[in-house]
Every structure is written in structure tokens, then in C-alpha cells.
């Protein structure tokens, strides 16, 4: 077998692609990854990881401004934007190097270039229009991810109107900022820039912000953001942009009225589209719907030997979903026993704003819409000793159970560190835990996790501390 013949070629080195490649190598498959830009993909280089580094800096700034509440004095607190951005980029760079090391350690070949299908079992790799390699593989996984959605008339220019990439490496701190879209990406950037002093306005076309979250959590979040000083406009549309020398005037329609508002910068966060172009899908049986590739529960497409995973295959657009899909896909290819499709209902979602938001499973309304009779428990952060000691009394834990079976249908949280806490409920759902097991689980004291226990108890009228 030559150096260009493999058992598996993965096109795309993001959190789905590189994890799939490593797992395949562990299973004894000769594997290659084709990546055109950065190992680790958008998540590691321009998404999940560097944004968390930015948000951490903003959190430190927030604590410094409120140092007096903890018995410290910090006056004239300032920040260096260039250093904040530089730290974020170094964090991303360190982890990207780590992915390169892991692939080398597992003897995965890496090809630098754009990969595309070139017939049955063949992948052509090019870089800047020049041929790099012609690869042969029994199996091919497409893991090319997605990119920011762009609407006609509202195109980013990289200077005044930003996508997530420009928003992550600002050279100037805007005094006023418009964020179009209130999903996880939009709200995280809104939180970051607001905590660094920008006057932030968020425009959302849906009736509420964070529209995929439970309605009660969304309402709690909006109230919190507005209390902090953000302006939130729901049921609103941005109709047009007019660019000035160093600002943008947005025409915003809301409540039947249209008004012009001027901002220093705009961030567009209005969804994503799959990177399905230039993959050589023409003439294959791979089906594409709304820019996403259709697969079965194991990543298989309609074309024999061709698979797809991650953001390329649709919602939820999460790195951990892509990684898990990659493992399932290669284990199915390798014939591992006991492999089963991914249950997307058990995938947690996290938004790292201030306060944080996290959830898993069905919202209360979705559970009712599916015909469940529900029992709902709630427990506020203000009733938790650890939250008060931390100076983080704002938040809520909400649990939704099937009244007949005790099944945990969903869990929804807002407050400090809930992105870490949510995994407890995720494990519970994966194990098909009922309220009884959760009630009899001993939670350590004093911890924020005690609220998870209390919320379960509250659903059955047994809460102790409220």
C-alpha cells in the first residue's frame, strides 16, 4: 500500500474530523486528514476556544470593577485590547499545535490543501489551485463544517460590519455595537463587548432571545441583560445598512415602525450554512438540503463509502456533537459491536455569556407539545449557599419530568458555571435516570450542584431550601 492509499480519508480537520481520524487510527485503520486551513477547525481557531478566552478576560474585568464587594480596592481599572486579543490567539494556537501532535502521535497522515471527491474511492487534494496529492480510500468522511450565513444587502465588509472572525480580533474598541442575532454566538459577543464598556444593542427577529432555549430561561436572560444595560429588540428586523467613514447606520423595523440607528460597529450572527461547495458532490448520490448533507444515524450518505459528520450535516451545530458523530461513524465503518446512532436529545447546549446558559433535552413547552404530562421543578441561585458565597446569587435551575414515568425530559439553567453543571443532567438522561435516582443521589455541600438536587425535589413538592 502506497503513501497515498488509505482505509479512511477525512476531509476537514475540525473537532469532528480530527477526532474521527484519531479514533479510526486507534481501531487500526490507515487514516489521512485533509485540511485546507487550520487543524482544529473553526471551533478551536475561530470559535469555541478563543471566544472563551475573550470572555474570561471580560469576566476578570467585571470582577475587578466589583472588587469592593469582595473586600478589595481596585481603582482606575483599564484594559489593553491588543493584549486581550493576543492572549486569545495564543490559546487557540497552543491547542491547534496540540491537535497536530495528537494526529502525529496516532500516525495519521495530514495533507495541507482542499480535498474533493474525484470518483469512487478517490480524493483529489489541491492547494491554491495546484495539485498536492491524489488519494485513494475505501472510506471517505466529509467534515468540512459550516460558515456564517450572509443575507443580501447585509453583507459583512470586515471593517465596519463584522462576522465572528473580525469580532474576535478587534483592533479598536467600539463605543456602540449592534449585534444582529441572539443565538449563542451573538449573545456571547454581546456579553463580551458590553462587559468591556461598549453600548450594545441586540436585534432578534424571533419573539425572544436565545430562541432555542426554554422560554422561562430566555425571559430570565433578557431581564438580566437589560438590567446590565444592554438594549434588546425582539421581533425586529434589520432592513439595510448605510456605511459612513467610521460607523454604520442600520434601518431597523420593529413593532410596525422603522427607525435608523447609528453604531460604531455591527456583528452579524444570523446562523450558518454548510460548506458543501467544491467537494465534488456532483454526479454522486450525496443529497444536500438547505446547504446540509443528509445522512443516516451513522454518518452514511447516499453514496457508498462516503460519510458526513458535524456542522455539515445540520443542527445542532456544536463541536461536541461533531466529535461524537465522528466516533460513531468510524466505529460503524470498523465494525465495532454495539454502535448506535447519536440521540441529539441528549446533547447539551451551552452559552458562555454572563450569566451563563445551559440546557439538555426538551423545553417545558416542547415536552407538552409532544403530549407529556409534566412536572416542573425550579430552584433559584439565591437559595444556594455556595452561590451567595461566590457573589453570584442570580440564576435559576429548572427541571422537566414526565409526570407518569418520572423520566427527566429536560433541564435548563442560567447562572454562574451552569455550563459545567449541565453535564450532571446529561449523564442522567443518557442513563435514562428517573426522579427517584436523582432524589437519592447525594450532592456535596456547599456546591452549586446542590441546586440540581433541589430542582428535582421541587418538581415533586419536596424542595428543602425554598
Sign of CA dihedral 184, 185, 190, 192: positive
pLDDT of residue 439: 97
CATH 3.40.440.10 matches 5-148+273-344:
no
The pLDDT of 402-410, averaged and rounded, is 97
Asked whether the predicted pLDDT for residue 103 surpasses 70, the reply is: yes
Query: Is the pLDDT reported for residue 212 higher than 90?
Result: yes
Angstrom distance (rounded) from CA 272 to CA 184: 12
Question: Kind and range of the H or E element at 199?
Answer: strand 199-204
The proportion of the chain whose per-residue pLDDT surpasses 70, expressed as a percent, equals 100
- The catalytically annotated residue of 66, 101, 340, 445 is 445
Query: What value does the mean pLDDT of the chain take?
Result: 95
Q: What is the pLDDT of residue 38?
A: 83
Percent of the chain with pLDDT over 90: 91
Query: Is pLDDT of 3 > 90?
Result: no
Q: Is 408's pLDDT higher than 50?
A: yes
The grid cell for 92 is 487557540
Once rounded to an integer, what is the mean pLDDT over residues 153-179?
94
Beta strands in 226-286 (DSSP E): 231-234, 236-243, 248-254, 257-263, 265-268, 272-274
Is the pLDDT at 1 greater than 50? The verdict is no
Does domain 161-270 fall into CATH 3.90.1640.10?
Answer: no
Sheet of 408-414: strands edge to edge? 349-351, 357-361, 408-414, 396-402, 374-380
Q: What is the mean pLDDT of residues 172-188?
A: 96
pLDDT at 37: 85
Stretch 288-299: mean pLDDT, rounded? 95
Task: Please give the pLDDT value at position 90.
Answer: 94
CA 162 to chain centre: 19
pLDDT over 70 (residue 335)? yes
> pLDDT (tens digit, 9 = 90+) per residue, 111-148?
999 999 999 999 999 999 899 999 999 999 999 999 98
Of 306, 305, 302, 309, nearest to 324 (Cα)? 309
Distance in angstroms (rounded) separating the CA atoms of residues 433 and 424: 11
Q: Where are the alpha helices (DSSP H) in 155-201?
A: 164-168, 184-195
Select from 421, 269, 272 the least CA-distant residue to 356: 421
pLDDT, residue 227, reads: 97
Ranges 149-158, 306-315, 435-444: which has the least confidence: 149-158
Q: What is the pLDDT of residue 349?
A: 97
Torsion sign, CA atoms 351, 357, 362, 363 = negative
Query: Distance between CA atoms of 401 and 364, rounded to whole angstroms?
Result: 9
At the second CATH level, the architecture of 355-459 is: 2-Layer Sandwich (3.30)
- Cα distance between residue 50 and residue 268, in whole Å: 18
Question: Which residues have a Cβ under 8 Å from the Cβ of 3 and sit 6 or more positions away?
Answer: 109
Determine whether 445 is an active site residue. Answer: yes
> Which grid cell sits at 58?
471580560
- Distance (Å, whole) CA 306 – CA 308: 7
Taking CA atoms, 73 is separated from 4, 21, 62, 146, 410, in Å, by 63, 51, 13, 45, 42
pLDDT of residue 45: 81
Distance from C-alpha of 416 to C-alpha of 275, rounded to nearest angstrom: 35
Closest CA to 275 of 235, 300, 312, 307: 312
Model confidence band, residue 85 (pLDDT cutoffs 50, 70, 90)? very high
At residue 306 the predicted structure's pLDDT band, cuts being 50, 70 and 90, is very high
CA angle at 224 for the pair 69 and 257, rounded to the nearest 5° = 140
User: What's this model's pTM, rounded to 2 decimal places?
Assistant: 0.94
- Taking alpha carbons only, the member of 78, 86, 88, 137 closest to residue 109 is 137
Residue 128 phi, psi (nearest 5): 55, 40
> 316: cis peptide before it, omega within 30°?
yes
Q: Name beta bridge partners: 11.
A: 34, 142
Whether 5-148+273-344 and 355-459 share one fold: the answer is no
Q: Give the pLDDT score at 2.
A: 54
Domain boundaries in the chain?
Answer: 5-148+273-344, 161-270, 355-459
Q: Which three cell numbers stand for residue 156?
A: 459583512
Amino acid at each position: 500500500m502506497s503513501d497515498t492509499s488509505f482505509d479512511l480519508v477525512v476531509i476537514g480537520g475540525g473537532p469532528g474530523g480530527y477526532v474521527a481520524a484519531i479514533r479510526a487510527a486507534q481501531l487500526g485503520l490507515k487514516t489521512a486528514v485533509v485540511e485546507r486551513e487550520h487543524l482544529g477547525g473553526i471551533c478551536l481557531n475561530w470559535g469555541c476556544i478563543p471566544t472563551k478566552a475573550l470572555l474570561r478576560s471580560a469576566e476578570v474585568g467585571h470582577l475587578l470593577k466589583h472588587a469592593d464587594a469582595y473586600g478589595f480596592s481596585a481603582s482606575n481599572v483599564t484594559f489593553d485590547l491588543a493584549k486581550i486579543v493576543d492572549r486569545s490567539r495564543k490559546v487557540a494556537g497552543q491547542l491547534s499545535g496540540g491537535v497536530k501532535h495528537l494526529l502525529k502521535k496516532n500516525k495519521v497522515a495530514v495533507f495541507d490543501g482542499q480535498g474533493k471527491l474525484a470518483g469512487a474511492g478517490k480524493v483529489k487534494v489541491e492547494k491554491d489551485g495546484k495539485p498536492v496529492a491524489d488519494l485513494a480510500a475505501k472510506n471517505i468522511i466529509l467534515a468540512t463544517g459550516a460558515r456564517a450565513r450572509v443575507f443580501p444587502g447585509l453583507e459583512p465588509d470586515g471593517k465596519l460590519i463584522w462576522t465572528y472572525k473580525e469580532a474576535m480580533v478587534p483592533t479598536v474598541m467600539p463605543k456602540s455595537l449592534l449585534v444582529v442575532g441572539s443565538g449563542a454566538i451573538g449573545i456571547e459577543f454581546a456579553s463580551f463587548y458590553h462587559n468591556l464598556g461598549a453600548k450594545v444593542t441586540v436585534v432578534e427577529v424571533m419573539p425572544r432571545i436565545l430562541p432555542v432555549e426554554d422560554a422561562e430561561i430566555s425571559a430570565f436572560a433578557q431581564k438580566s441583560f437589560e438590567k446590565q444595560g444592554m438594549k434588546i429588540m425582539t421581533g425586529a428586523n434589520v432592513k439595510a445598512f448605510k456605511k459612513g467613514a467610521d460607523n454604520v447606520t442600520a434601518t431597523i423595523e420593529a413593532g410596525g415602525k422603522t427607525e435608523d440607528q447609528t453604531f460604531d460597529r455591527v456583528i452579524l450572527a444570523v446562523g450558518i450554512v454548510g460548506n458543501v461547495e467544491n467537494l465534488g458532490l456532483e454526479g454522486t448520490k450525496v443529497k444536500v438540503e438547505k446547504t446540509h448533507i443528509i445522512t443516516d444515524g451513522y454518518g452514511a450518505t447516499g453514496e457508498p463509502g462516503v460519510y458526513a459528520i458535524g456542522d455539515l450535516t445540520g443542527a445542532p451545530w456544536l463541536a461536541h456533537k461533531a466529535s461524537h458523530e465522528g466516533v460513531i461513524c468510524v466505529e460503524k465503518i470498523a465494525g465495532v459491536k454495539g454502535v448506535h446512532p447519536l440521540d441529539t436529545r441528549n446533547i447539551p447546549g451551552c452559552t458562555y455569556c454572563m450569566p451563563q446558559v445551559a440546557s439538555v433535552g426538551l423545553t417545558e413547552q416542547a415536552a407538552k407539545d409532544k403530549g407529556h404530562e409534566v412536572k416542573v421543578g425550579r430552584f433559584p441561585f439565591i437559595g444556594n449557599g455556595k452561590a451567595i458565597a461566590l457573589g453570584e446569587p442570580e440564576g435559576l435551575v429548572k427541571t422537566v419530568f414526565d409526570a407518569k414515568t418520572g423520566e427527566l425530559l429536560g433541564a435548563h439553567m442560567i447562572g454562574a458555571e451552569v455550563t459545567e453543571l449541565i453535564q450532571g443532567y446529561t449523564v442522567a438522561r443518557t442513563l435514562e435516570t428517573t426522579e427517584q435516582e436523582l432524589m437519592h443521589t447525594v450532592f456535596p455541600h456547599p456546591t452549586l450542584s446542590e441546586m440540581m438536587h433541589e430542582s428535582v425535589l421541587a418538581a415533586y413538592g419536596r424542595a428543602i431550601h425554598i
